[in-house]
Each structure stands twice: as C-alpha cells, then as structure tokens.
C-alpha cells in the first residue's frame, strides 16, 4: 500500500478541511448547545460533492474512492462530529444503493442524495430489542397487491426524520432466520411511515436520532433492494464499510482533542512555567499522538483494501475498535490536561469527550469488533504469519 496520497485525494481532503474550518467549526458549540440540525451545511456539502465521495460520477458522485471518503470524514469530524454523522450515513446510503440497487433505483435515488435534494439518507436496521443482534429484528414485510406491507418499529435511526429515502430491514420469511430478511427503500411521507421522538443524547447533539414506526406501510415490488432474503448479507456488507467511516470520525475527534490539549498546555502556566514543560503532561501528549497515528494507519489500510475490492472485514473491525477507543483516551487525557477548565463548556474538550463516546457503540460495539477480529483470525491463518 502506497502511503502517499494522490493529488486528487489531497485536493479533496483540503477542500473538506477548509469547509470544516470555515463553515462547521465556528457554529459547532452553538449546534451542540441548541440541538441545531445542520441543514444549511449539508446542502453546502452537496454543492461541493461531499455527499457522494465514493459514488460513481454517472450518479452525481465524485467517484474518488474510499480513502478520499475516509479523509473527508476525518476532516469534518475535527470541526463538528454531529454534522459528520449525517454526512457519513448519507454517503453510506448512496453507496449501498449503487452496490445493490437496480438501475432504476440508482437513477431514482442516488442523484437526489448526492445533490442534496433528498438532504440525507438513513439506515433503519436497529430495533428496540435488536441492536447488536440484528438477526433478531421483529419488523415484518408481507406480500401485498403488487408490493409489500411493512409493520414494525426501528430505534436509533440517524437522520430518520430528514432523509428522502430510508433503507429498511424487515423479515419476509421469519422461519428462515437471517436468510429471511429483506431490504426495502422507503421514501419520505409514504403512508404508514411515522417518525417518533428525537432522542435527547449525551453527545452528537446537532445530529438527529429518532425512532421510526411502520404501520401497514405499503411499498411496491420495485422498492426491494437486492434480492429477497439477502437483507442480512447486505447489512453486514454495509456495516463493514460503515466501520471505516466511524473509525475516521473517531480519529477526527481525537485529533481535535489533541490539538486543543497541546494548545492549552503551551498557554497555561503553573509554578511559573507552561504546563507543557512537565514530563507527565508531555507523556500524555506523546501517547495520544502515537495512538492516533496508529489509528490513522489502520483506517487507511482498511480503506485501501475496500477501495481495491479486496477483503477488509477484519481490517475494518481493527480500525474501528482501535480508533474509537484511541479517540476516547485522547479526549480523556486532554480533558485532564485542562484540569477544571476541561469540565466546563467554555472549552470544547468536554464536547469532544461526549461526542467520542458513542463511536465505541454504533456500527458495532467494541465488544462485537473483538468478536469479529477473533473470528477472522481463527479462519485466516495468514493473519498470524
């Protein structure tokens, strides 16, 4: 793997960095405090192509690859992790439709996602009793006249109230277990599709997280994404890619925290000199920088493998678990460097800590990632050589 970025990747990264500094960073604290959804910013991101970084050009995307996508997510997360969540999920929806959808579905939805017309996309997999255990979902889809009738409830759905199209998983053959799950594309305002309450979250408060309910919600046969019964497989493929995005988000938050801690340690004086001169704090900075560098390399490897259509499940899980936990340690250490000031909202470090925490939970908890890693190691002897 070549660690040098291409000119295109550097341009895309720098575009995201400049946008983040100019448009996201100045309002990130206000967005967090007032739960402001970034509609204006998402439309602006669509204008510069960042809602379809890894989407083919024929459907309105950049077709710049997974590495470029990872770089974009990291840069945006440095400024506003809440906005980044909506960007990441929207990119994922566009990608999964491109990978598994019919030509009609691609034409109908992907362009509207990448140009901002649909504003966001959303994934409706998790349910009140089915988070990590996705195969135990209870939502049903039964054959109707020329289509399917959906009934069920979904939980923790990012951008579920703002998306033009939602990818919904439901059981079409309950007796077949995971092989009886099918994916559907459900448009906003479809009768029987209801948005529930907004979750009052610890972090990422500028992003929208809602419950969804489907009551006799009819969708045509053309709404089936992929083949009947392939929904669970589709979910696993999407989650593998999503873990690269969450890892990149965690890295961005961690890097923002490190920059804040470094700056504060140089300015804050105790005992007549900057606290940056104290070895204990220097080691915090050194350990954090080293861990975040390692996380970045793990992410780039996973992104490179996916981009080159090589197996990446193990590498994505390694990147996700390490980057999310490194981000948490980064925020915790940098808050400690701030002392009491880190605990108040005058400084952004407490927001970084709150935003980082969920990266160890969604797209598969840290515990699930370790199960995936162990399973892949036991299957692949080459990983030990």
Residue whose token pair is 């419950």: 211
Distance CA 29, CA 173 (A): 47
Using DSSP's 3-state secondary structure scheme, residue 132 falls into: coil
Cα 239 to Cα 121: distance, rounded to the nearest angstrom: 15
How far, in Å, are 29, 80, 144, 262, 344 from residue 36 at the CA level? 10, 12, 40, 29, 20
d(CA 104, CA 177): 29
Do residues 203 and 358 touch, judged by C-beta distance below 8 A?
A: yes
Q: How far apart are CA 149 and CA 215, in angstroms?
A: 8
Beta-sheet pairing, 163-171 with 120-124: parallel
In 3D space, the residue among 321, 303, 236, 353 whose CA is nearest the CA of residue 72 turns out to be: 303
Q: Phi and psi of 92, rounded to 5°? A: -60, -45
Q: Distance between CA atoms of 134 and 38, rounded to whole angstroms?
A: 29
- Give the tokens for residue 159: 């951008």
Catalytic residue (one of 95, 307, 315, 363): 363
Cα-Cα end-to-end distance for the chain: 18
Beta bridge partner(s), residue 217: 150
363 is catalytic: yes
What amino acid positions are annotated as catalytic residues?
A: 363
């Amino acid at each position: 793997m070549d660690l040098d970025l291409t000119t295109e990747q550097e341009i895309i990264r720098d575009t995201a960095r400049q946008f983040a500094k100019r448009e996201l960073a100045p309002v990130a604290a206000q967005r967090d405090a007032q739960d402001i959804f970034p509609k204006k910013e998402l439309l602006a991101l669509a204008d510069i192509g960042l809602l379809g970084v890894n989407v083919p050009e024929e459907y309105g995307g950049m077709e710049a690859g997974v590495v470029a996508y990872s770089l974009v997510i990291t840069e945006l997360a440095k400024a506003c992790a809440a906005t980044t969540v909506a960007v990441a999920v929207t990119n994922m929806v566009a990608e999964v439709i491109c990978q598994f959808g019919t030509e009609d579905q691609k034409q109908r939805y992907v362009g509207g996602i990448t140009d901002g017309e649909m504003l966001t996309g959303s994934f409706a997999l998790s349910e009140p009793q089915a988070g990590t255990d996705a195969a135990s979902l209870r939502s049903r889809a039964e054959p109707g006249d020329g289509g399917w009738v959906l009934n069920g409830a979904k939980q923790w759905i990012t951008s579920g109230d703002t998306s033009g199209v939602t990818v919904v998983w439901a059981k079409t053959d309950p007796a077949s277990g995971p092989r009886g799950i099918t994916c559907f594309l459900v448009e906003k305002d479809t009768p029987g599709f209801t948005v529930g309450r907004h979750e009052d979250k610890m972090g990422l408060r500028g992003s929208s997280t809602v419950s969804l309910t489907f009551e006799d919600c009819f969708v045509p046969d053309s709404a089936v994404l992929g083949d009947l019964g392939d929904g669970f497989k589709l979910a696993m493929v999407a989650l593998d890619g999503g873990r690269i995005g969450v890892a990149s988000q965690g890295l961005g938050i961690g890097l923002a925290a490190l920059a804040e801690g470094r700056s504060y340690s140089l300015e804050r004086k105790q005992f007549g000199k900057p606290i940056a001169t104290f070895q204990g704090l220097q080691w915090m900075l050194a350990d954090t920088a080293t861990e975040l560098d390692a996380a970045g390399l793990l992410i780039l490897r996973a992104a490179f493998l996916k981009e080159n259509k090589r197996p990446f499940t193990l590498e994505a899980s390694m990147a996700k678990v390490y980057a999310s936990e490194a981000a948490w340690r980064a925020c915790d250490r940098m808050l400690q460097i701030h002392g009491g000031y880190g605990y108040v909202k005058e400084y952004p470090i407490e927001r970084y800590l709150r935003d980082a925490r969920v990266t160890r939970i969604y797209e598969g908890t840290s515990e699930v990632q370790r199960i995936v890693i162990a399973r892949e190691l036991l299957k692949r002897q080459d990983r030990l050589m």
